[in-house]
Amino acid sequence: MLPVIIGIVVVVVIASAIAGIYNNMVTKRNRIDNAWQNIDTQLQRRNDLIPNLVETVKGYAKHEQDTLAAVVNARNVAVSATTPEAKMEADNVLTGALRQLFAVAEAYPDLKANTNFTQLQSTLEDTENKVSYARQSYNDCVLSYNNAIQTFPAVIFAGIFQFKERQGFEAAEAPARHQPSSSSEPLTHPQPFCINRPVECILRRGGFLCREGPPQGAVHFVSIQHARQLRAPR
């Protein structure tokens, strides 16, 4: 009789330990899902602001069709993304497109003075700050969950119950107001970068603003990294 009782106690203890491990993994996974919902809400808010931003910029920067098209296309991809992984990737592409748009806007004083544009820019910056805060919380939850399913003895049951490793949200550089740096000055290097016709380039934080041809020509933002690649010997 005693061996039976001992056996029952052992089974109960083991079952309770497994249940505790399982419940802990479920709790941590649910925290990730909840943290992602906070990010997703802010991403949707930003996506809703972009069409109005694009229409505002169109009225002042008609020569920036490529830049505007990049923002629109990136926004469409972000809206159509369905999984967290796809949304993370789309968000980074969209962030880069917005960064270039705001950099180009520096060349249009009337646009910068437009109330609607400044309000949209401020709202987008506020949204990006909220995304950044929510992203940190999400990554903390992912780290805690991944550590839990990779340590013994939980790693044994994680495989049995199909608890898979989650991906953190690695963010691109946030779009921001590009203020001229104290060292901003026209470049003296002849024929910079990849353009085979005369251009005028101004050094900005993180890259260069280059205007092709006449004063009303299109303005392009070229990152420093891209500029180095283009100027490298071939």
Q: Three-state SS for 153?
A: coil
Q: Three-state SS for 116?
A: helix
Provide the pLDDT for residue 227. 54
Provide the pLDDT for residue 149. 95
Six-digit token string for 7: 């056996």
Domains annotated on the chain, with CATH: 2-176 (1.20.1440.20), 179-234 (no CATH)
CA distance 3 to 46: 65
- 8 A C-beta contact, residue 107 and residue 64: no
- 8 A C-beta contact, residue 217 and residue 62: no
pLDDT tens digit sequence for 170-196 = 876 544 444 443 334 343 333 333 334
Q: Which residues of 94-128 are buried (b: 16+ CB within 10 A; e: fewer)?
A: bbbbbbbbbbbbbbbeebeebeebeebbeebeebb
User: How far, in Å, are 2, 25, 28, 57, 67 from residue 151 at the CA level?
Assistant: 35, 11, 14, 52, 47
Tell me the pLDDT of the chain (234 aa) as tens digits. Answer: 788 888 899 999 999 999 999 999 999 999 999 999 999 999 999 999 999 999 999 888 878 889 999 999 999 999 999 999 999 999 999 999 999 999 988 889 999 899 999 999 999 999 999 998 999 999 999 999 999 999 999 999 999 999 999 999 987 654 444 444 333 434 333 333 333 444 455 544 445 556 555 544 555 555 555 555 554 444
Provide the pLDDT for residue 63. 81
